[in-house]
Amino acid sequence: MTEGLEGYMLPCLNKQLFGIECFGCGIQRATALLFKGEFIAAFKMYPAIYSLFILVVFLLLNLFLKFKHATPIKIGLILLNVVIIVISYFIKMSKFV
């Protein structure tokens, strides 16, 4: 029987249907590793975990505090996350070929 958060994780529908991981594969496991305090393992599992965390914190803060240059910061953080996710995905997929 699985213990902790692992028992509540959703399976990747893309991986089940097509046998190929999606761009989000690993984020649940990386989050679980963060909660366990395994920070390096979380980064290895999903390299965008920390930049996504920064984006979410910024978006939540921006709900209550209005920053002067909020829009360019949001766009920059989103672009940073997209680049990290895409690059790490293709590196991960190149290992399977």
DSSP state of 4: G
What tens digit of pLDDT does each residue of 34-70 get?
989 999 999 999 999 999 999 999 999 999 998 899 9
* pLDDT tens, residue by residue, 4-31: 667 777 888 888 888 888 898 889 999 9
Distance CA 7, CA 29 (A): 11
Residue with tokens 């046998």: 19
Comparing CA positions, the residue from 48, 30, 39, 41 lying closest to residue 84 is 48
Cα four-point dihedral sign 13, 75, 67, 34: positive
